[in-house]
Amino acid sequence: MLAGPGWLVERPVELDLVELEWAGDSPCYAFPAQVDVTGLLPLSDQGVRYRDYSRAVRDLVRPRLLENRLSYRLTGVAAGRGGGLRLRFGRTTFFEGFNLRQLLAHEFKRAWLVSGRATPRIADLPLRQAVGDPFDPERLLMSPGITTLTIRRGGIGEGASFVLHERDGGKVADGGGLCHPMPAGEFQPSSSAPEDVERDFSLWRNIMREYSEEFLGNPEHDGGGPRSIDYAHDEPFARFEAARGRGSFRVWHCGLVIEPLELNVQQLTVAVIDAPEYDELFEGVVAVNDEGWIVGQGDARHIPFTPDAIDRLEPRLSAGGLILLRLAWRHRRVILGG
């Protein structure tokens, strides 16, 4: 994983120290017009090239979850108060970012194969070359999802433990077969309704919805209900809010990273939940959800938060998941206290 200048905070900061600014209706992303990507797109069974990767994946892979939802687009990163970050966002869609990332990855693979599996030259990667600086949100379309490492802080005589999720390649559009911290998801509003786009412009509310879906198995909060979410009164959000207000559910932000192949940006966060609170909030945790399953069975679903456990799991982990676990361990005294 890579990080741009100022993308990683010196030490994890409380989630509220990450300031979000709304850029309004920022200009649409300008795809590099001088780059011909036709040859990167797959053929249909009729020999016609697909227009984009999202349509090809829908037809050929058929994952259960593949929707072109409105997403928040990162347009600026700056230092914020208290050692945190100030992030500016506008609008994009999931498919817009997904299609660009797939083109970048397949361009690299084609050049790698043509070169006899040697590292391609940048001149052989015209799309990547046109993007230029991958840390500049004006040059690269960025829609940074949120990956949250969930740590259960044990009581007396117990150590800390964490939860991992194995993504099912038959259900998700990317990352299938890899283990990843749980929950994780795109930074999106619950619907495209203007009131929801404004109300859901919150890292915490996005994280809460992912807990509801991935830990508790609730249907995806996609705006299909008769009204908007009332985070103060609807469950499980009211219980999450109360736990955070008591200080037994704390969330930390570690910054942003970018995956070098697809140039996919992620926000790295860590939730530390006291054992009694965790056990009550997630008493009904599901073993399998719409995106995969929790690693292990029974009590073994809690993986000891130790360097040995992280080392053993490394071959199965996504790159973003591994760097988040390493960062959390490095800063364990900050996030766990003491």
pLDDT at residue number 299: 56
Task: Provide Rg for the chain, Cα atoms.
Answer: 20
Give the residue among 141, 156, 282 at the shortest CA–CA distance from 210.
Answer: 282
Predicted confidence (pLDDT) per residue in 177-193, tens digit:
789 999 999 999 999 89
Mean pLDDT of the chain: 90
**Token pair of 116, please?**
């006899």
3-state SS class at 271: strand
* Contacts (Cβ under 8 Å, ≥6 apart) of 272: 151, 153, 160, 249, 250, 251, 252, 335, 336
Summarised one tens digit per residue, pLDDT across range 321-337 is 999 999 999 999 999 98
pLDDT at 301: 67
Q: What is the pTM of this model?
A: 0.91
Angle, helix 237-246 to helix 203-214, in steps of 10 degrees: 120
Distance (Å, rounded) from C-alpha 120 to C-alpha 109?
Answer: 9
pLDDT at 26: 67
Measured CA to CA in angstroms, residue 324 lies from 314, 315, 317, 321 at distances of 12, 15, 11, 5
The reported pLDDT for the residue numbered 255 is: 98
DSSP-assigned letters across all residues of 195-213: HHHHHT--HHHHHHHHHHH
What is the structure's pLDDT at 45?
83
207/240 Cα distance (integer angstroms): 10
Does an H or E element contain 250, and which?
A: strand 249-259
Q: Are 272 and 328 in contact (CB under 8 A)?
A: no
pLDDT at 170: 60
Q: Which residue has the tokens 């249909």?
A: 44
For residues 240 and 281, the answer to whether their CB atoms sit within 8 Å is yes
Alpha-carbon distances of 258 from 137, 140, 230, 239, rounded to whole Å: 12, 11, 33, 33
Going residue by residue through the chain, which has 338 residues, state the pLDDT in tens, using 9 for 90 and above: 999 999 999 999 999 999 999 987 667 777 777 888 888 888 888 888 998 888 888 887 776 667 788 999 999 999 999 999 999 999 999 999 999 999 999 999 999 999 999 999 999 999 999 999 999 998 899 999 999 999 999 977 889 999 998 876 565 555 567 899 999 999 999 998 999 999 999 999 999 999 999 999 888 776 666 688 999 999 999 999 999 999 999 999 999 999 999 999 999 999 999 999 999 999 988 888 777 778 865 555 689 999 999 999 999 999 999 999 999 999 999 999 86
CB 326 within 8 A of CB 310: yes
DSSP 82: G
